[in-house]
Structure 1
């Protein structure tokens, strides 16, 4: 549940950064572009890779529940989850803050509207930009391999349980389905972005390829942001606490509706009785 909460926080912060990204498309202000290329870009990086890593942690946690159903592994403790979450945020915040500081210290003065953020970059910022995205691509690759491993291992355990006709096979099938949902969302949202983003970073100033990659990158970015809409499926399928809260809310709503209906029925009966009494007295 700790990783789910952090995933929700990453999605929420990503939503907060979207207005600045939307504003820069139609803006003719250099200041808006500066804000977008500094805070907007780093916010997108921070929250996107937070989502990627926390999705990996969720998958790892689900896998450990299959391998260690007793929950005795140290990685399954709440304390460990809190520490991992805190370290993740710090590790992602550090390059984001460093990028912003270096961006404003060394940015190139511009009088016209730039076509892309690369025109603001000095040599040092451009180098840092490439290093950050190279490491980001490595993170994405490692997470992808991990998710495939978790899904493959879960599927193999399901097959073994079905062949042995174990009672837990139904539960394992459900776990495999949940893992498939997670892997599918991850691949749909983040794979196209990284396939386009890495070439774009290194061919940013190319006159021939640059513009094409820019539009492909923007389209892939919009697809990656769509992750915010798909993450509720993760909560829906993987979070037992989420299910419990939905059931409680539904039960509470049904009780309130029943109380309202009973009160309205009582009011109607009292009105009918009062009318009957008044008619009797008139007679």
Structure 2
């Protein structure tokens, strides 16, 4: 419900002048699609029989991870956008245009969709028969799918590391810029402090939601067949996946602090809700003559 509200609000925010809003809209879309994937994943773990395992392992899993990495990448774009505006405000005009943001977003979605569709097609063409109930897709994987899946996992880990390292660098550079402004007693130092706070918020949410998952995901990919370590890593991965899903709940906080129009709209809706509640209280408390 929160993400649907966020999507409704943020899509109404005009993005004609700000590339940041383009990335925010794409992040909102990724989060909303992420939400839509959850029922199938829950159903898969609740009932690992019939057509559900095949449906989840072919389409559900690819859609789930597509939107997870879309969220990761677009959070990276948002951090990069803030970094360029704060640290290099005059030297990166081309990269901060709305046109560039649309192109970058489109290329990102095409890349992610191509990867997800390739995996789904390969899975459907080479699917193994399921001999017993399982909470994992591995028994349904052919050797070619296992290889492709491993490549995807390694590529995903590289993407995550690049985004993570970049975001840490962006925060460090922003903090240095704020410190320099404070030392020179510039009038813009207060505004830069807010920008650093927003960057810290973004990096914190990213770390809380996605770092635990990736600390477990890559070892699980290579050691899942180990009888001793495999089951432990499997349960750790599932817990970490649940934590990563929490990103859906935290991203609206990012929208609130980074987008002034979104913040104004939320406050307007909040005031309207409070006004309606007060009116209802007055109506119900008035004695009937």
Q: TM-score, normalising length from structure 1?
A: 0.87
Q: CA deviation at 1:10?
A: 0.5
Q: 1:173 aligns with which of 193, 196, 200?
A: 193
Aligned residue-pair number: 265
Matched residue SS, 2:132: coil
Q: Which residue of 2 aligns with 1:162?
A: 182
Distance 1:28 1:150 in 2: 43
Q: Which residue of 1 aligns with 2:6?
A: none
Q: 1:95 aligns with which of 98, 112, 115?
A: 115
Q: Which residue of 2 aligns with 1:112?
A: 132
Q: 1:40 aligns with which of 26, 44, 60?
A: 60
Q: Is the 8 A contact 2:44 2:135 kept in 1?
A: no
Q: CA deviation at 1:244?
A: 2.6
Unpaired segments of 5 or more residues in structure 2?
A: 1-20
1:112 and 1:2, CA in 2 relative to 1: closer, same or farther beyond 3 A?
A: same
Q: CA deviation at 1:14?
A: 0.6
Q: CA deviation at 1:209?
A: 1.4
Q: CA deviation at 1:239?
A: 1.1
- Give runs of aligned pairs for residues 163-202 of structure 1, distance below 5 A: 163-202=183-222
| Cα distance per residue 1:218-272 (max 9 Å; x no partner) | 00000000100111111111112212323444566688899x79xx9xxx9xxxx
Q: Which residue of 1 aligns with 2:257?
A: 237
Q: Is the 8 A contact 2:48 2:135 kept in 1?
A: no
Tell me, yes or no, if structure 1 residue 123 matches structure 2 residue 143. yes
Tell me, yes or no, if structure 1 residue 211 matches structure 2 residue 240. no
Which stretch has the larger CA shift, 164-173 or 239-248? 239-248
Distance 2:120 2:274 in 1: 51
Q: CA deviation at 1:112?
A: 1.9
Distance 1:216 1:249 in 2: 40
Q: Which residue of 2 aligns with 1:271?
A: none
Q: TM-score, normalising length from structure 2?
A: 0.85
Q: 2:43 aligns with which of 15, 18, 23?
A: 23
Unpaired segments of 5 or more residues in structure 1?
A: 269-283
Q: 1:141 aligns with which of 127, 145, 161?
A: 161
Q: Which has the higher contact order (CA 8 A, sep 6+)?
A: 2
Q: CA deviation at 1:75?
A: 1.1
Distance 1:203 1:126 in 2: 13
Distance 1:66 1:77 in 2: 15
Distance 2:277 2:52 in 1: 49
Q: CA deviation at 1:113?
A: 1.1
Q: Which residue of 2 aligns with 1:150?
A: 170
RMSD over aligned Cα, in angstroms?
A: 2.3
Q: CA deviation at 1:72?
A: 6.2
Q: Is the 8 A contact 2:22 2:102 kept in 1?
A: yes
Q: Is the 8 A contact 1:65 1:71 kept in 2?
A: no
Q: 1:67 aligns with which of 68, 76, 87?
A: 87
Higher helix share: 1
Distance 1:248 1:32 in 2: 43
Q: Which residue of 1 aligns with 2:16?
A: none
Q: Which residue of 1 aligns with 2:17?
A: none
Which stretch has the larger CA shift, 57-66 or 146-155? 57-66
